[in-house]
């Protein structure tokens, strides 16, 4: 591993909880201080993304597609044929660079989004692509299919051009007519809730649990958790084409300033490479059940930091040291990474995880 880590930076902190174990009162302070509080700053940035990406262009035009469930493959096939009369992102030249994105809601995280290629310089793009979802029919009948059309500009920023939603619960799968290509008018986004489905980018990282940092010691030592933040991919742009991002790490439930570490800021790219390793010591095996690594990505601009997205990596049990906490809410992918780390000590476990909206725990002094 050493060769590709010549350039990385490293920082160390202690996982403070072991100090607090004895007195239950200090523990409740910890969990209440990390209650979901500083919501205003986060929701503020949500609205700016919302107006930035959704409000600029009128919604017009139509999309032609067909859906079919292929029993033999247990797959939903969405055949995206074409769009016509889309709004022009480039008003002067009367053209856009559109692509189509599909989600199954509400399980968008599990199924992931599917995208067509971008067709450049047109308001009438032809795709003729099949987007496939591996899914049992019973589950499919609980979903909505959301197809949205987006313009992607040279800075990889996306502007919303319209969407169509089909309720698959009421869809007649046996009707032959329903397998034919059909035109649907594009509609506006119904509500900012749709932002949740919007892409916040991904983080590539690796974790390692080192149970005995100093082998051969007679006394029982505590272990370390190593967090190697490699890079982020496709971060959202909140201020035109500018971005100056950094990653902050806190090990919950310890929200003290001592527990916080951060990378340097990397400017002018939506795919920043950080290569920063953070080391937290003071972990006993039982602490791994109760702690959660919160990684958040921020855009630093003048005197403010805007939240872009985050991860919470832990067992996602909803509890920590017997107290119910909001932040133990890891997704299945986040839990899978933590489990692998716990089960394979002294080994780097790598993953690329989608960043998501988090309500950030308040920092105690």
Mean pLDDT of 346-357: 94
Residues 221-245, mean pLDDT to the nearest whole number: 87
Gyration radius from the chain CA atoms? 23
Q: What pLDDT digit, counting tens, does each position of 35-87 carry?
A: 222 222 232 233 223 323 555 677 899 999 999 999 999 999 999 999 999 99
Which of 119-128, 177-186, 209-218 has the lowest average pLDDT? 209-218
Say if residue 233's pLDDT is above 50. Answer: yes
Pick from 261, 333, 320, 260: which is nearest to 288 by CA? 320
Residue 217: band (very low, low, confident or very high) from pLDDT cuts 50, 70, 90: low
Contacts of 196 (CB under 8 A, 6+ apart): 357
User: What is the pTM for the complete model shown?
Assistant: 0.52
pLDDT confidence bin for 199, thresholds 50/70/90: confident
Sign of the alpha-carbon torsion through 234, 106, 350, 216: positive
**Residues 121 and 95: beta-carbon distance below 8 Å:** yes
The predicted pLDDT at position 255 comes to 83
Give pLDDT tens digits for 38-52: 222 232 233 223 323
DSSP collapsed to 3 states, the chain: CCHHHCCCEEEEEECCHHHHCCCHHHHHHHHHHCCECCHHHHHHHHHHHHHHHHCCCCCCCEEEEEEEEECCCCEEEEEEEEEECCCCCECCCCEECEEEEEEEECCHHHHCCEECCCCCCECCCEEEEEEEEECCHHHHCCCEEEEEEEEECCCCCEEEEEEEEEECCCCCCCCHHHHCCEEEECECCCCHHHHHHCCCCEEEEEEEEECCCCCCCCCCCCEEEEEEEEEEECCCCCECCECEEEEEEEEECCCCHHHCEECCCEECCCCCEEEEEEEEEEECCCHHHHCEEEEEEEEEECCEEEEEEEEEECCCCCEECCEECCCCCCCHHHHHHHHHHHHCCCCCEEEEEECECCCCECCCC
- HSE at residue 189, side-chain half, CA atoms within 13 A, is 22
Residue 362 has pLDDT above 90, yes or no: no
Q: Quick check: 133 and 76 in contact, CB under 8 A?
A: yes
Q: Give residue 280's pLDDT.
A: 92
Question: pLDDT tens-digit profile of 259-317?
Answer: 899 999 999 899 999 999 999 988 988 999 999 999 999 999 888 888 899 999 999 99
Q: Give CA torsion, residues 172, 173, 174, 180, to 10 deg.
A: 100
Rounded average pLDDT over 28-34? 27
Whether 169 has a pLDDT exceeding 80, the answer reads yes
For range 218-237, the mean pLDDT: 87
> What's the Cα-to-Cα distance from 227 to each of 4, 174, 221, 258, 274, rounded to whole Å?
16, 51, 20, 16, 12
Q: What is the per-residue pLDDT for 33?
A: 28
Residue with the larger pLDDT of the pair 22 and 231 = 231
For residue 306, what pLDDT is reported?
Answer: 86
Residue 61's nearest CA partner among 151, 194, 162, 180 is 162
pLDDT at 191 over 60: no
**Is the model more confident about 108 or about 248?**
248
Q: In the prediction, which pLDDT does 230 show? A: 96
Does residue 349 register a pLDDT over 80?
yes
Across residues 81-107, what is the average pLDDT?
90
Is residue 148 within 8 A of residue 158, CB to CB? The reply is: no
Condensed to tens digits (0 to 9), the pLDDT of residues 248-259 reads 999 999 888 888
Q: How far is CA 209 from CA 46, 265, 296, in A?
A: 34, 26, 20
Q: Which domains does the chain have, with CATH numbers?
A: 44-185 (2.60.40.150), 201-355 (2.60.40.150)
Q: Is the pLDDT of residue 159 over 80?
A: yes
């Amino acid at each position: 591993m050493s060769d590709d880590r010549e350039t990385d930076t490293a920082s160390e902190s202690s996982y403070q909880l072991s100090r607090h174990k004895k007195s239950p009162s200090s523990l409740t302070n910890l969990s209440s201080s990390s209650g979901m509080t500083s919501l205003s700053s986060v929701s503020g940035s949500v609205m700016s993304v919302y107006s930035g990406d959704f409000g600029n262009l009128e919604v017009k035009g139509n999309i032609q597609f067909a859906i079919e469930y292929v029993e033999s493959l247990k797959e939903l096939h969405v055949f995206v044929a074409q769009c016509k009369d889309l709004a022009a992102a480039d008003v002067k030249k009367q053209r856009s660079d559109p692509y189509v994105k599909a989600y199954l809601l509400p399980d968008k995280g599990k199924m992931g989004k599917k995208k067509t290629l971008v067709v450049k310089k047109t308001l009438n793009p032809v795709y003729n692509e099949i987007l496939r979802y591996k899914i049992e029919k019973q589950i499919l009948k609980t979903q909505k299919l959301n197809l949205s059309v987006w313009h992607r500009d040279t800075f990889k920023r996306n502007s919303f051009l319209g969407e169509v939603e089909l309720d698959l619960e009421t869809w007649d799968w046996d009707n032959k007519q329903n397998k034919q290509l059909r035109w649907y008018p594009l509609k506006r986004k119904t509500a900012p809730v749709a932002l949740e489905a919007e892409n916040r980018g991904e983080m590539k990282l690796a974790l390692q649990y080192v149970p005995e940092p100093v082998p051969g010691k007679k006394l029982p030592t505590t272990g370390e958790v190593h967090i190697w933040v490699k890079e982020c991919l496709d971060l959202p742009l909140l201020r035109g084409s500018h971005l100056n991002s950094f990653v902050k790490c806190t090990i919950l439930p310890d929200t003290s300033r001592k527990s916080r570490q951060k990378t340097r800021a990397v400017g002018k790219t939506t795919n920043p490479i950080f290569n920063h390793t953070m080391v937290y010591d003071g972990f006993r095996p039982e602490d791994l059940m109760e702690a959660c690594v919160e990684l958040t990505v921020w855009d630093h601009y003048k005197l403010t930091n805007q939240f872009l997205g985050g991860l919470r990596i832990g067992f996602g049990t909803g509890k920590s040291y017997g107290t119910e906490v909001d932040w133990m809410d890891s997704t299945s992918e986040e839990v899978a990474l933590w489990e692998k780390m716990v089960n394979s000590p002294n080994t780097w476990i790598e993953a690329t995880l989608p960043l998501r909206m988090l309500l950030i725990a308040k920092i105690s002094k």
